[in-house]
Structure 1
């Protein structure tokens, strides 16, 4: 689904899909990788989910 969303440039879907990917892995580095992608797409869109994604990255020491 991620590749399909990228192919159609569906950034709104990408925010959710990357956040879901972060929730589905058991590796903190991988989760933060996906969260970062979700956060960047949310910022680009001005999406309200950016605040929660940022908070999650801060909680993991990945963002100030």
Structure 2
């Protein structure tokens, strides 16, 4: 999926209130930015994915937290 398609999919998921899609799409955007070496942008997207995962009880929350911890953007709760 190219950047334009991803942006359009994110907008559609927001409009539909589809939290599962938002988790998946923000994670995908984060992974793409991480692979490109843009860690700040990756963590921006991972944070959004993490928040939607927490709000919806999505199983990806722990994985997303680990990525944010790895990049020094979050601390692991005790």
Same fold per superposition (TM over 0.5): yes
The CA deviation string for residues 22-56 of structure 1, in whole angstroms up to 9 with x for no partner, is 01122110000000000000000111100000000
Q: Tell me which of 11, 15, 33 is aligned to 1:7.
A: 15
Q: Tell me which of 22, 37, 60 is aligned to 2:71.
A: 60
RCO higher in 1 or 2 (8 Å CA, sep ≥ 6)? 1
User: What's the TM-score once normalised by structure 1's chain length?
Assistant: 0.97
Q: Tell me which of 40, 53, 65 is aligned to 1:42.
A: 53
Which has the larger Rg?
Answer: 2
> Please, which runs of 5 or more residues in structure 1 have no aligned partner?
none
User: What's the TM-score once normalised by structure 2's chain length?
Assistant: 0.80
How many residues are paired up? 64
Compute the RMSD of aligned alpha carbons: 0.6
